[in-house]
Amino acid sequence: MSSSHIWGSIPFPPGDNDTDTAFGGGHFNLTVLNELDYHLFENGTVSNFTKCFLAFQPYTPTYLFPNGTFQNHTSCYTALYPIGVRSGTGIGFGVLFGIALILTLVNLRKHGALYVERSKRFFPISRRWQWYWSIIVCGLALVSLFTNVDVDRYYVMNNPIIFTSFFWFLMQFGIISLVWEAVRHWGSWNERQIVDANPYAVRQEGRRYNTELLLPIFFYFWVWLNFFLIIPRSWTSIQLQRSPEQILIRAKPAATDGRFKAAGFCLFVAWLTIIGSLAHSIKHLHTRRDGAVGKVMDTCRSVPIRFVLLLLLALFIVAFQILVAFQWDYSPLNAKGNVVAIYMGGYVPTLLILAVQTVYGFIAPNEDLELIRQRRERGEETNRELGIVPKPSWWSRLRGNNQPASMRDIVARNVNEISGKQRTAPAPQPASDASPTGPGGGDVELTEPLNKSGSQPMSPGAEGAPPYGTPSYGGSSEQRRTERTMRQAPGILFPASDPASPSRAEEEAPPSYDESTARRGVSRNGSERGTTPSISNQPPQQIRSMLDV
């Protein structure tokens, strides 16, 4: 192939004879160069489109072997130049994105921690996704910026421009997803607060619920369409910026083709979806006045200032991606593009979004802790309405209840309370006739209970007194009340066993046979019924525990 048909190639200069050529201060076999299809280019390189070597001093090869191998050669794809403006600016932005990555990890640890029980309706990953996307964006930005360093240093453009452009587009994909997750979770957080106060306030059905299920699918459809229009393609043409002719014929048309243009508009549809999600959350979860003007004003007041900044910066990102699909001079794919435009439009909005998220993360509390605070405030408000004054924290320690009792002690205390067992026997109090509380002279709680006629009960030996008469007791009022209850329980549970209250059969009609015989368990014909004892002839049942009841 003639060298005139190759872009940027020039004829080999003549040498000492017809089979010799001289360039870069050395002489080489022209016949071998032609046989292996080597060409000399205007930028001082010699290449056969498989191998490329520098052909100027001090990188010129010293000798060419008959098999086409150069001795002491230097590859064209070598970082020869120092760091330029684009590379130095990229290093500075890389440091800023590294700091943003560290702060994002701190916020993820703060807001991702759980302090309340997990709910099937609100998953913890919902609040973590915005921080996950922040980490992804920081990582992609670091790769894009540090591979951008070699864009200025390479003598012949090769893979660095592809790597920095590839990860830059992925970064745009991630930052829009970050804004989406922040807005979507804000609506979920509002719903969670409402449901925590009233579980039936927001139902999981209807148009609102179905819309919230479909909005994420619709958003990620357009974002992934942007991804598939840009990423899975041949990037070889982007690196062909080795001469002005290559840029015009290969690199520029590839960087401004229809796929890049369509991808930018897909990202704009995704941005509009974020606006729709925000409006949907405000409509269903925030109170608005009637009337068009009132609704618009209430909607604007309901939007947090954080989302105003995020949405404006995200719109600027979308607009810049559409711009570079039409203007080659401002595109990050252009190795010699406008550095100010590349960083101000391609990296500054993303960095500002991360900064806004970081400030919000440090200011806003953990959602679980905020939910606990709201529950405590609602409980205090309910106590105030009911007039309940909670005891201070030192109350239990003052009363001696600060030590947890063992299960054995709890069971023993319950048994003693039921059985009425006296633990201490205080000295009997002397009787006083002038005591207004009765003959015992004690407190009202220590006196004997009055009978139906209002008089004191009879002693066990008195006539007509029940067989289980009231014994003398000198314990505390609580113990005496327990003992009195235990004595009265048989008569309540088994009325027939109380001699003082006749059975219903005795009240309605007299028995047709001898009462004494019936009570002894003897039938009319004189046969003894030993297997059927009379209830009224049994002693009163003494209840010792709740199991007897």
Q: Are 115 and 369 in contact (CB under 8 A)?
A: yes
Q: What's the predicted TM-score (pTM) here?
A: 0.69
**Span 208-237, mean pLDDT?**
93
**Span 272-282, mean pLDDT?**
93
512 has pLDDT over 70: no
- The region of weakest confidence among 12-21, 293-302, 475-484 is 475-484
Query: Band of the pLDDT at 232, cuts 50, 70, 90?
Result: very high
- The region of weakest confidence among 84-93, 116-125, 213-222, 253-262 is 116-125
Write b or e for each residue in 196-207: b if 16 or more Cβ atoms lie within 10 A of its Cβ, otherwise e.
beeeeebeeeee
Please report the pLDDT score of residue 265 as a whole number: 95
Type and span of the H or E element at 255: helix 252-255
Write b or e for each residue in 19-31: b if 16 or more Cβ atoms lie within 10 A of its Cβ, otherwise e.
eebebbebebbbe
**Per-residue pLDDT tens over the stretch 61-79:** 888 888 888 888 888 888 8
**Per-residue pLDDT tens over the stretch 379-437:** 989 888 888 888 777 776 666 555 666 788 888 888 887 876 555 544 554 444 444 44
Residue 521: which region, alpha, beta or left (left: phi > 0; alpha: psi -120 to 50)?
A: left
- The region of weakest confidence among 22-36, 212-226, 434-448 is 434-448
Average pLDDT, the chain: 79
State the SS3 of 45-98: EEECCCCEEECCCCCCCCEECCCCCEECCCECCCECCCCCHHHHHHHHHHHHHH
451 has pLDDT over 50: no
**Per-residue pLDDT tens over the stretch 384-395:** 888 888 877 777
**Per-residue pLDDT tens over the stretch 159-192:** 899 999 999 999 999 999 999 999 999 999 999 9
145 has pLDDT over 80: yes
Burial class of 461 by CB neighbour count within 10 A (0 to 12, 13 to 18, 19+)? exposed
Supply φ then ψ for residue 148, to 5 degrees.
-70, -15
Highest mean pLDDT among 32-36, 49-53, 377-381, 513-517: 377-381
Please report the pLDDT score of residue 460 as a whole number: 45
Residues 85-237+245-376, CATH architecture: Up-down Bundle (1.20)
**Per-residue pLDDT tens over the stretch 122-141:** 888 889 999 999 999 999 99
**Per-residue pLDDT tens over the stretch 358-381:** 999 999 999 999 999 999 999 989
Please report the pLDDT score of residue 483 as a whole number: 78
520 has pLDDT over 80: no
Please report the pLDDT score of residue 326 as a whole number: 94
273 has pLDDT over 80: yes
Q: Which two tokens stand for residue 346?
A: 């391609």
Please report the pLDDT score of residue 522 as a whole number: 42
Question: Long-range pairs for 163-170 at CB < 8 Å and ≥24 separation?
Answer: 164/90, 164/332, 165/235, 165/238, 165/332, 165/333, 166/231, 166/235, 167/140, 167/141, 167/143, 168/140, 168/144, 168/332, 168/346, 169/230, 169/231, 169/321, 170/140, 170/227, 170/231
**Per-residue pLDDT tens over the stretch 246-260:** 889 899 999 999 999
Please report the pLDDT score of residue 392 as a whole number: 78
464 has pLDDT over 70: no
One-character DSSP codes across 340-386:
HHHHHHHTHHHHHHHHHHHHHHHHSPPHHHHHHHHHHHHHHHHHHHH
Look at 224 and 506; give whichever has higher pLDDT: 224
Q: Which residue has the tokens 């015992």?
A: 440
Q: Are 184 and 277 in contact (CB under 8 A)?
A: yes
Please report the pLDDT score of residue 80 as a whole number: 86
One-character DSSP codes across 213-227:
HHHHHHHHHHHHHHH
Percent of the chain at pLDDT above 90? 39
On the CB side of 426, CA atoms within 13 Å amount to 11
**Per-residue pLDDT tens over the stretch 319-366:** 999 999 999 999 999 999 899 999 999 999 999 999 999 999 999 999
* Domain locations along the chain: 3-71, 85-237+245-376
Query: Band of the pLDDT at 44, cuts 50, 70, 90?
Result: confident
Residue 356 to residues 135, 313, 347, 351, 544, Cα–Cα distance (Å) = 14, 10, 14, 9, 72
453 has pLDDT over 60: no
Amino acid in position 57: Q
**Span 201-221, mean pLDDT?**
90
Please report the pLDDT score of residue 518 as a whole number: 42
**Span 185-202, mean pLDDT?**
89
Give CA–CA dist 340/398, Å, rounded: 72
Please report the pLDDT score of residue 403 as a whole number: 60
262 has pLDDT over 70: yes
Look at 36 and 317; give whichever has higher pLDDT: 317
Please report the pLDDT score of residue 523 as a whole number: 42
Please report the pLDDT score of residue 533 as a whole number: 45
Q: Are 64 and 23 in contact (CB under 8 A)?
A: no
Please report the pLDDT score of residue 141 as a whole number: 96
Please report the pLDDT score of residue 436 as a whole number: 41
